[in-house]
Structure 1
Amino acid sequence: LYLEVETFVFQTLKGENLSKKAKERREDLLKKIKDVKASYPHEFAEKGLEDEEESENSLSSPPDSVSIASDRYDKEDEAPSDGNQFSPVAAQDLQFVLKAGYLEKRRKDHSFLGFEWQKRWCAISKTVFYYYGSDKDKQQKGEFALEGYTIRMNNSLRKDAKKDCCFEISAPDKRIYQFAAATPKEAEEWVQQVKFVIQDTGSNIIPEEEEEYDDVGQVNSEPVDDSIYEEVKEELLSSEPEVPSEESQEQITTVSDSENTDYANFYQGLWDCTGDEPDELTFKRGDVIYIISKEYNRFGWWVGEMKGTIGLVPKAYIMEMYDI
């Protein structure tokens, strides 16, 4: 219990935007905690020896009781519930990031002293939801594959100003993950993005190759007279090709273009998007993009063309231009 109080006052409140009066009370509590430790040095000395034994292989100095408590709670809370463990990856090394930003994550087993919500840097990479302590972390605190999950807004998780900023990701027989965004709009954006990914994983079916259907029947095996080919060849050689007039060329071009235009592949920017890599398109809301390929659909990316430039486009940032 003491470790929880010290961790809450020293670490959790440190990152909060406190009023002047609250800061003064926090300083008073810190002073009282130091007085208690000074009054019972033997009790805390034994605890310090236990801490040193736990971290004897560490290159850094032995952690204090605050960091020990925080690390212990993180390990207990962030462990995957379904047993799936992904390889450690730095936040800056994630590939195909569809959505990223800071959220408040609700602890699985929160205490009454204020550990219920923790700030986490979250990112959706391909079909996996990662969360870190910050965007500079070298290793994630936890992650889970979105396949099989559902997501929805949930305004019953909190009773403060962020009541309408909460959403949860759940699945049968799996752990429920609950988050709070800074604004209701941001929460909706996260919900929509996760829905896109979940739909992709659900529709990720490799189509079988269709066999050619032959309804002609058995082909006549009688040999064909070679004279037929000779007659056709003579006709081709004797006829002079006609040069089409400019008017007829324009008509042909116009007709072919209109027939080949696939309006279903025209999309427009839903939000502004700045490409992080040279092979990604940069566009603004309302820009017209022609989708060339959906080869990377399972990762949430399509190949598009805009103003003569071809590149990857996050499909969550665009919408159909024509209602066909």
Structure 2
Amino acid sequence: MAVDTSLPSRPDAPILNAFVGHIEAVLAKLVKAVGDGSAKSITVDGLQGLGESQLKDGDLVTKYHAQQSDATKYRDDLNSLDSNIAQIASKSADVSNTVTTEVEGLVKNVKGIIADVPNLTDVPLPRSIELQITAIDKIDKEVDKTAKAVSDAYEALDDHAGKITDPESDHSGSAPNSIGSGNQFPAYTGSGGNGRNTSGPAGLGNGANAQPIGGGQKVTAKKIYDYLISKGFTPAQAAGILGNMQVESGFDTGAYNPGEGAIGLCQWEGGRRANLEAFAASQGRSVTDWQTQVDFMIHELKGSESSAYGHLTSASSAGAAAAAFDQYYERSSGEARGQRVANANSIASSMAGVAA
């Protein structure tokens, strides 16, 4: 049974009414997206042996019966993959149901706040506005609590998935390199955020060779990582940022998307690109200098993008930091979020094993 996200209307409180109407619409879309709270967990036992049955039913063993050791390895890898998928699916169902439960609680609390506002028909305007704003503040706090609970559930899922893919993880029962050539994640894909870069940086993608800001610098992830650490970011936060930069620009400060006019490590566009260029000019430095671009990113996080900074600093793992940076700073379509998370987990692992 779907969650009822309808909230009471208050024609006598137009400011509050508009705010509540917006929340109602957003919650309805959220519940529709995550389901009705009846998501079923796929158990490991339910998938047990599927990999083996695929080998028995297919022609792999028939065609390659002479390579019995390889067939055995693939059978074991398939069964291990089944187990990993089941664990992630189970956590995903938990997240879906957590969202539904939290939304139900939020709707109940918001209804209570609305009911507590007295009839404002004959209340003087200053007092009416004060009462409405007070109610909105209370609702906002309830939304924050709900958002925190949902975020915690998502981070738990992300952390679990990271343990499965991280070769250094102590996650029991997993096979990090199941059916593959190791745990190396794909490199830059050209799927952008601020610039929604679909063609890739200059020299890396097709049709993106224009360099209107001059030649860029190809900087290593290690240099940016060390610089971010020196600026007070945690290893997880630094890796999360780098996981995004790898997708956005391939660590090329001259990366340019002609379709969007987006430039740089984070593919800034529009007003944010103009702010980057003004920032570089005020420092007397080139806009393609990698430290200048990183300094500007930090400048944004500590200023106009403080909300993104708050979400980033609340992340407890590299993967969660990557997801937060993508959602709140890059504000991409989300299609490449899995790649960003995978990049961040890989970078965090590799940096942990490199001497300072």
Query: What TM bracket, shorter-length normalisation?
Result: under 0.3
Q: Which has the higher contact order (CA 8 A, sep 6+)?
A: 2
TM-score when normalising by structure 2: 0.21
Is the radius of gyration larger for structure 1 or structure 2? 1
